[in-house]
Structure 1
Amino acid sequence: MEAPLQTEMVELVPNGKHSEGLLPVITPMAGNQRVEDPARSCMEGKSFLQKSPSKEPHFTDFEGKTSFGMSVFNLSNAIMGSGILGLAYAMANTGIILFLFLLTAVALLSSYSIHLLLKSSGVVGIRAYEQLGYRAFGTPGKLAAALAITLQNIGAMSSYLYIIKSELPLVIQTFLNLEEKTSDWYMNGNYLVILVSVTIILPLALMRQLGYLGYSSGFSLSCMVFFLIAVIYKKFHVPCPLPPNFNNTTGNFSHVEIVKEKVQLQVEPEASAFCTPSYFTLNSQTAYTIPIMAFAFVCHPEVLPIYTELKDPSKKKMQHISNLSIAVMYIMYFLAALFGYLTFYNGVESELLHTYSKVDPFDVLILCVRVAVLTAVTLTVPIVLFPVRRAIQQMLFPNQEFSWLRHVLIAVGLLTCINLLVIFAPNILGIFGVIGATSAPFLIFIFPAIFYFRIMPTEKEPARSTPKILALCFAMLGFLLMTMSLSFIIIDWASGTSRHGGNH
C-alpha cells in the first residue's frame, strides 16, 4: 500500500544546516491535486502543491526567495566543515596521485547522488530528506534517514568539540606565554571542552529558534578560507625537516628562518627522503581516506531545503548549484590537503591545525587561525544540534506538543554523550573514520539510490531500465565501500598499529 504523501516545512539557516520542525508540518488538503500524478510529475518551476485559499502557510509560500549565487554559498557552507582538517593526513597515507583520484571520484559520486535526490523529489513533490524516506519505504524509511542524519550530525559535533579540546589549550598557552604545557586545569582539554559546552554551547542550544545564530555559518566558511590561506602561506615558511626539539622553539618566527638556513646546510640523505612527496601510498591508514573524504562531502540532507528556497526552482538549476558548490569545495579541499601535506609530509597529524604547534607555538598567524576556527566551531555546534534534536523527537516523541522539559533534556543528553565521546576518543581520526564509514555512505550512496528506485514510477522508468540499474549499482557501491572501510578500520584498531598523531 502506498505511503501517504506528506510535505514538511523547512526553515533554512544560512549555512544550509536546516532546522526542520521549527515550522508546522503541512499536509495537502483532500481537494488538492497530488503531484505524483504521472501527468504532472515533470512540472518543474511550478507549485509542488496547489495553494489553499486559507491563510495557513503552505509549502509553496516559502519558495522563490534565494538567488543562484546565495544558494551556492548556502550549499558550500553545508559541505564545508571540520573534515578539511583531516585531508592532509589522508593525502599522507595515499600519496598525491591516489588522493586526487579518490577525491575526484567522491566529488563526482556526490554530484550524481544529488541528481538522484532531485529526480526523486521532482516526482513526488517532497523536499525533505526524511520525507523522501517516508514516501519510499513508509515509517521505516523515514526513521532510517533520520537516524543516518542524526549520526552524521553527532559526528560533526564531536569533531567540532574535539577541535576545542585540541586547540583551546594551545591558545591559552600562547596567551599566557608559557613555553611548556602545565598540569593546571585550564590547560586540560577535557576540562575546557566541558566548560565551553556548559557556558556557551548549552545556552545557545536551549533557544527555541536559531534566529541570528544562523548567520554565524558565513563566519565559519570565512574562517576555513582563512585557514586555507594560512596553510598555503606556511608551506613556504616552515623548514623541512623540522629540527630536533623544534616544537620547543619560542620567540619570533624570524628565528624559524635562521634555523631553516642552518638545517638546509646540514640535510642528511634520510631527512631529504623524508621531505620528498609520495605519489602513491598504501598502508593501514589508507582505510581512513575514503571515510574522511565522504565525511567532508556530505551535504545531501541540506540540498532539498536549499532547493525549497531557490528562486524559480528547477532540477537543472539546482543541479548546477550543486555542481558548482562541490567544485569550489573540491578545489579548497585539494589545496588544503596538498599544501598541508607538502609542509609536514609524513609528519602531518590527523588534525592539521594542531601540527603547526611543532613549528612555533607563539606564531601570530596560526594563533589567529586557531581563534577563528575555535569561534566558528563553537557557534556551529548549536546549529547542528537543532536538526539532531528534531530527528530524535520525531523518532521517540512523534506528534507531541512542544515541551520545554523535553527540549532541555534532549539538548543536555546530547551534549553529555558527545562530551564523553570526545573525552575518551584518542583522536579526531576515529570520529572522521567511523562516522564517515557509516552514516556518510548511507546519505551519499545508499539512500539516494534506493529512494530513486522506489519512487520513480515504473511507467516512466521500468525496473530494468538503465537509470534504475545504475542506481542499484550505486547503492551496492555504497555498501561495498562501507563494508571495506569499516573492516579495515576495525582491523587497524585490533592490531594497534595506527599512527594517528595529535593525541592529548
Structure 2
Amino acid sequence: MASVGLIPGFFVILFSAGASGLGLYFLSNCASHTNGRNASFFAISKLTWPNLAVLFDLAIAIKCFGVAISYLIIIGDLMPQVVAAFAPDAQQSAVLMDRRFWITLFMATAVLPLSFLRKLDSLKYTSVVALIAVLYLCAIVIEHYFGKDFTPPPEGSVELVHFSFKFFRHLPVFVFAFTCHQNIFSVYNELKDNSQKVINKTIGISIGSAAFIYEIIAILGYLSFGKDVSGNVISEYRQSLFVAGGQMAIVILVIFSYPLQAHPCRASLDKVLAWRSPEVRGLKVPPLPSPFKYFAMTTAILVSSYLVAITVSKLDLVFAFVGSTGSTTISFILPGLFYFKIHENDPWNTGKIASLALAIYGILVMVVCLTFNVLNLLKN
C-alpha cells in the first residue's frame, strides 16, 4: 500500500481479490469436466494442452516451494524477537538469538510431522488455530493505531495517492496475498457437496474474508508507519508481551500453513516425475505414489526449503519473485487458459471473454513485475 498510496492501494487489494476469485471459479468449473473426484492441474491439462501438462505442474511445484520457504523465513525473523520480549536475559544467548536455530527447531518438531499427512482435510484443526493467529495480528494493528500512546508517522509520509515504478516491484505481493489456487482441487475433491454453487460460496467466503482482513492491516499499518514501513509489519511494533504474543501467533500460523504448500507441491512434483514414464503419461489420472516415493518427495521438499531459508533472509524479495512467477501462473494464466480451451467451441460470452482477459492480465503482470524485480536485484 505504501508503494501506491492509500486510495489506489485500497482498490488494488479489491481488484486482486476479484481477479483471484475469478481464477478460482474458472478452475472449479474446469474441475467439473474431469472424472469423479480426481480433479487436478494434471487432469485438466490432459483435457486442454496435454503436451504442456508437465510444465504446468512444474510451475505449481516451484510456486508452492517458494511460499514454503517464505514461511520458514518468517519463523527465523520473529522468534528472536519473541524470546527477547518474554525473556530479556536470553538476548545474551547467541543460540536463542540465531534465526537458524529456530527454523531448525520448528522444522524438526512441528513442520515435518504435519507435512507427511496425506489428506488436506487432516489439517482442518490446525487451520482453525492459524485463523485465530490472523485475528490476533489484526488486534495488534488496531490496538496500536487507536491506542492512547499512538505516535503518528512524520508529516508527508502518508499519501492518499502515490505512484512510482516501485509499485511494479510490489504488485506481485498483492497477487501472492490471494493465491490459494494450488489447493482448490483438493477442496473440490474432498467437499461432501462439491456442486458449483457450494464451491462458489466457499470461494466467496475465503477471498472476501481475506480481503477484509488485508484492508484492515494494510490501511492501519500504513497509517501507523507511513511509506517507510517494512515488508513485515509485525516487526515494526514496539516490543511488549502483547506484540510478542502476536509474533508468536504468526509463527504458529506459518507452521500450520507450511503443509498447505507442501501438499500441492508434492502432488505436482509427483506428476512431473511421473511424466518420464510413457505409461503414466497417457493416463488421465496418474496412479498414487508409492510409500517410498511419497516419503522421498516430502523429505526432498522439507530439506531443500530448509537449506534455502537458513541462507536467504529477505522476505519481501521472496514474496516478489514468487508472486510475479508462480502466483500469476496459477492464479490468472492457467485458470484463464484452461477455461478458454475447454469452452473454445462455445459461443463467445462473458465467461469466455473474462477468461482470456484474465490470462492476458497474468502474462502482463508476470513480464512487467519480474522485469522490475530482476533490474532492482541487479541494481542492489
TM-score normalized by the length of structure 2? 0.87
Matches within 5 A, 1:21-170: 91-124=1-34, 127-141=39-53, 143-170=54-81
Aligned partner of residue 88 in structure 2, secondary structure? coil
- What residue number does 2:375 align with? 491
Checking the alignment, whether the CA contact within 8 Å between 1:240 and 1:344 is kept in structure 2 is no
Tell me how far apart the structure 1 counterparts of residues 142 and 226 of structure 2 sit (CA, whole Å): 14
- Higher helix content, 1 or 2: 2
Tell me how far apart the structure 2 counterparts of residues 153 and 94 of structure 1 sit (CA, whole Å): 27
Tell me how far apart the structure 2 counterparts of residues 300 and 389 of structure 1 sit (CA, whole Å): 15
Checking the alignment, whether the CA contact within 8 Å between 1:223 and 1:376 is kept in structure 2 is yes
Checking the alignment, whether the CA contact within 8 Å between 2:136 and 2:246 is kept in structure 1 is yes
- What residue number does 1:394 align with? 271
Tell me how far apart the structure 1 counterparts of residues 300 and 138 of structure 2 sit (CA, whole Å): 34
Tell me how far apart the structure 2 counterparts of residues 401 and 306 of structure 1 sit (CA, whole Å): 18
- What residue number does 1:375 align with? 252
* Structure 1 position 208, deviation (Å): 5.6
1:200 to 106, 110, 113: 110
Larger Rg: 1
* Structure 1 position 227, deviation (Å): 1.0
Name which of structure 1's ranges 430-439 and 122-131 shifts more when overlaid on structure 2: 122-131
* Structure 1 position 171, deviation (Å): 1.3
Tell me how far apart the structure 1 counterparts of residues 296 and 184 of structure 2 sit (CA, whole Å): 29
Structure 1, residues 441-467: CA drift from partner, whole Å, max 9, x if none?
Answer: 111111111111221261xx14x6664
- Percent same amino acid at aligned positions? 25
CA distance 1:158–1:312, change in 2 (3 Å): closer
Structure 1, residues 294-317: CA drift from partner, whole Å, max 9, x if none?
Answer: 111112233343334445543244
Name which of structure 1's ranges 162-171 and 381-390 shifts more when overlaid on structure 2: 381-390
Note the aligned Cα RMSD (angstroms). 2.6
Higher relative contact order (CA 8 A, sep 6+): 2
Structure 1: segments with no counterpart, 5+ residues: 1-90, 243-270, 497-504
Structure 1, residues 138-170: CA drift from partner, whole Å, max 9, x if none?
Answer: 1522x2332232122212211211111000111
Give, as a single letter, the amino acid of the residue that structure 1 aligns with 2:41.
Y
Checking the alignment, whether the CA contact within 8 Å between 2:6 and 2:219 is kept in structure 1 is yes
Tell me how far apart the structure 1 counterparts of residues 172 and 195 of structure 2 sit (CA, whole Å): 31
- What residue number does 1:421 align with? 308
Matches within 5 A, 1:97-496: 97-124=7-34, 127-141=39-53, 143-178=54-89, 181-182=91-92, 184-206=94-116, 213-237=123-147, 239-240=150-151, 271-274=154-157, 277-310=158-191, 312-356=193-237, 359=238, 361=239, 363-397=240-274, 402-456=289-343, 458=345, 461-462=346-347, 467-496=351-380
* Structure 1 position 187, deviation (Å): 0.8
TM-score normalized by the length of structure 1? 0.67
Give, as a single letter, the amino acid of the residue that structure 2 aligns with 1:452.
Y
Aligned partner of residue 92 in structure 1, secondary structure? coil
Structure 1, residues 364-422: CA drift from partner, whole Å, max 9, x if none?
Answer: 21111122221232233234323322322222146677555443433332222212322
- What residue number does 1:81 align with? none
Checking the alignment, whether the CA contact within 8 Å between 2:7 and 2:160 is kept in structure 1 is yes
Give, as a single letter, the amino acid of the residue that structure 1 aligns with 2:3.
N
Aligned partner of residue 235 in structure 2, secondary structure? helix
CA distance 1:150–1:197, change in 2 (3 Å): same
Checking the alignment, whether the CA contact within 8 Å between 1:219 and 1:376 is kept in structure 2 is yes
Checking the alignment, whether the CA contact within 8 Å between 1:107 and 1:330 is kept in structure 2 is yes
Tell me how far apart the structure 2 counterparts of residues 474 and 381 of structure 1 sit (CA, whole Å): 28
* Structure 1 position 185, deviation (Å): 1.9
Tell me how far apart the structure 1 counterparts of residues 352 and 230 of structure 2 sit (CA, whole Å): 42
* Structure 1 position 438, deviation (Å): 0.5
Checking the alignment, whether the CA contact within 8 Å between 1:441 and 1:479 is kept in structure 2 is yes
Tell me how far apart the structure 2 counterparts of residues 483 and 211 of structure 1 sit (CA, whole Å): 36
